[in-house]
Amino acid sequence: MPRSQVVIGVDSSTQSTKALFADAATGRTLAVGRAAHRVQGSAGARESDPEQWWQALGEAVAAGLKESGAPASAVTGIAVAGQQHGLVALGRDRRPLRPALLWNDTRSAPQAAALTAALGGPHSWTDRTGSVPVAAVTAAKWQWLREHEPTTAAACTAVRLPHDFLTERLAGVAATDPGDASGTGWYSTADRAYDAEILQLLGLNAELLPTVAATGGARIGTLTPGAAEFLGLASGIAVAAGTGDNMSAAVGLGLGGAGLLDHPVLSLGTSGTVFAATRTRPTSPALSGFAAADGTHLPLACTLNCTLAVDRIAALLRLDRDDAEPGGDAVLLPYLDGERTPDLPAASGLLTGLRHATTPRQLLGAAYEGAVVTVLRALDEVLRACGLDPDAPGVAARPLRLIGGGAQGRTWVETVRRLSGRPLVIPAATELVAVGAAALAASAASGADPVAIAQDWDTGRDTELPPVERDVETWERVGSVLERAAPTLLDRS
């Protein structure tokens, strides 16, 4: 009987690495190895040493290989999906010159605003890159590095995104994909190439950047002997270009040209993210107009304050995260780390509508409501970017796919359900970024379309929840506070 082939999908996120071992034919998960990362910084700074990502990748692969029981010779492909936007500055020895600036490092907000103005305003950016610079975007972080650490910037011989850094360690090839490249701020989704004028504005030589592969599933090389020895795998294994975490989750959900188009997804994690795969190139200044890993587009909005912020409110109130009830008159905007959508990088949290009768459980419920209304307002903009009217009956009834850690939380699910009025679909697969990366790895090994591979795998039945009547009163109350307060939420210290 022939031995089953195995592929490895790596999810290198902000706080951990997961290496998912999957049967290449069926997509059945054989094992998931895990290893933690450390994030350091305060007052807007968020940094990590890229070397720990590589060490964590080794630990996660070793753990997954042991748990799966598969021989190393059965592995045919590997792909990395990584946290988006982070800036990895490398020296001549291809070692990091400093800790990586992570996506949620907000110190580069002034640079983002200055870059937006320098190119002629938001629409000049969306016409080229699909996105307006915000603090998260790599271009703003590079500009921050130039201004605050010019010696480091001058010594830099290579600029990488987190997933690029790991992919280069695997294959010895400097490569990225259109999806993750579209989050840099210097890749044109219109021309599908680096934008020479923007690079000139940034003082960034294109020779410092990786080559952009056609898709995230493109085979860009094979596992080098050194990487194979480090990981305990065989050399010559196909290495995919890989992609960003959001693009990989879309592949894992079967979204894209060979699958579902214009179907909205809400990811409830440390950040709250909404996106949809579409053939329409997005150009809304309110969104990140990303490319998808398979050649389509992925309009996306990201809010910084989601599960982590609400958990912090629960801790302050000494409540369990599910010990909540609707907020009543209270409105709590939990912008504890600034905010990205809406673009309020220096914002802090806001509580209003507090009364004698307000209970701690209502305050916690108000934090959930503030986070959910923020992300659902962004969802409407994503649907418009797909050419859809979010209030049209057919669109408003379209199921919302709910993923991420929050999708396993009762209060998160019920709050989204109540405030959206939409039917919800909760996929059975919980490691969708890693599943998508595994499909990209299978694509690199076989040449098949990664979205079609993920759809064929059909790794589990979804939980479907019918819609409930929308809580319009809470929606309008929170939205009204947000609209009134947004101009004053900036920290003026």
| From 245, 294, 343, 471, active-site residue | 245
Q: Is-catalytic flag, 322? A: no
Dihedral (CA of 293, 299, 304, 310) sign? negative
Pick the closest to residue 361 from 317, 406, 409 (CA basis). 317
Q: Report the phi/psi class of residue 353: left, alpha or beta, with left for phi > 0 and alpha for psi in -120 to 50.
A: left
Pick the closest to residue 478 from 415, 423, 430 (CA basis). 415
Distance CA 376, CA 306 (A): 12
Please report, as a single letter, which amino acid is at residue 10. V
3-state SS string for the chain? CCCCCEEEEEEECCCEEEEEEEECCCCCEEEEEEEECCCECCCCCCEECHHHHHHHHHHHHHHHHHHHCCCHHHEEEEEEEECCCCEEEECCCCCECCCEECCCCHHHHHHHHHHHHHCCCHHHHHHHCCECCCCCCHHHHHHHHHHHCHHHHHHCCEEECHHHHHHHHHHCCCEECHHHHCCCCCEECCCCEECHHHHHHHCCCHHHCCEECCCCCCEEEECCHHHHHHHCCCCCCEEECCEEHHHHHHHHCCECCCCECCCCEEEECCCEEEECCECCCCCCCCCEEEECCCCCEEEEEEECCCHHHHHHHHHHHCCCCCCCCCCCCCEEECCECEECCCCECCECCEEECCCCCCCHHHHHHHHHHHHHHHHHHHHHHHHHHCCCCCCCHHHHCCCEEEECHHHHCHHHHHHHHHHHCCCEEECCCCCHHHHHHHHHHHHHHHCCCHHHHHHHHCCCCCEEECCCCCCHHHHHHHHHHHHHHHHHCECCC
Cis bond leading into 342, ω under 30°? yes
Asked if 242 and 168 touch (Cβ cutoff 8 Å), the reply is: no
Query: For strand 175-176 and strand 211-212, is the pairing parallel, antiparallel, or unpaired?
Result: parallel
Positions marked active-site: 245
